[in-house]
Amino acid sequence: MSLIAFDFDGTLSDSEMTVLLARRAGAADEVAEITERAMNDELSYAESLYQRAELLSGLDEELVDAAFDEVALRPGAGALIERLQAEGHHVAVLTGGFERGVERALAKQGVEADTIVANRLPMEGGKLTGAAEGPLIEGTKDDALAALADDLGVPMAETVAVGDGANDLPMLEVAGAAIGFVPKDAVRPVCDAVVASMFRLGKVFEGYDVLPAE
């Protein structure tokens, strides 16, 4: 068994959850700018998430639900997760994004991740408080990957990490194999392979003997 850890926003999904929420809060441009700066490693991830969450303060629960309903997996992502699980691999989603969006996108494709480590946007009185909480704000994905590998008894050499942005760098650096999904410039140098589609990602998994050739 290998442990395959995916980032979500920008990797398994081309949706950017905070942007979908921000459109409904009338703060899309500000949030997109903060997101871009964080992904290019110009701003710490924690700082960027707290800033974006603050811009969403007061957003109504109904609008939050509508935004999470828009989150979707990339074409072929659901089928690839199923292939990995059928071979006995543990599929994890390690994301600075939000649990509700991840769960809904997976459910729409009829798949489940074995583990989801994600953040949350707390609500009070049916509205977002403007705060953010969860393990991957101050915590980093290398620690999350190492802890999960330890729990599963999987050596780090048998882990694969797939991501695109600066907050994926820690897990890409410690994983047995690091795959960039259309990675940002700051991320590309640490990647063992770079792909731009789920089809190509499947082929890379075949090349690493993670999956049998189709």
Q: Are 130 and 56 in contact (CB under 8 A)?
A: yes
What Rg do the C-alpha atoms of the chain give, in angstroms? 17
Decide if 9 is catalytic: yes
Task: Give yes or no: 7 in active site.
Answer: yes
Q: Which of 9, 142, 164, 168 is catalytic?
A: 9
Strand residues in the chain grouped as ranges (E):
3-6, 90-98, 115-119, 123-124, 127-128, 159-163, 177-181, 193-195
**How far, rounded to the nearest angstrom, does the alpha carbon of residue 97 sit from its chain's CA centroid?**
6
Residue of 7, 142, 164, 168 marked catalytic: 7
Quote the distance between the C-alpha of residue 129 and its chain's center. Answer: 23
149-169: b or e for each residue (b if 16 or more CB lie within 10 Å)?
beebebeeebbbbbbbbbbbb
Residues with active-site annotation: 7, 9
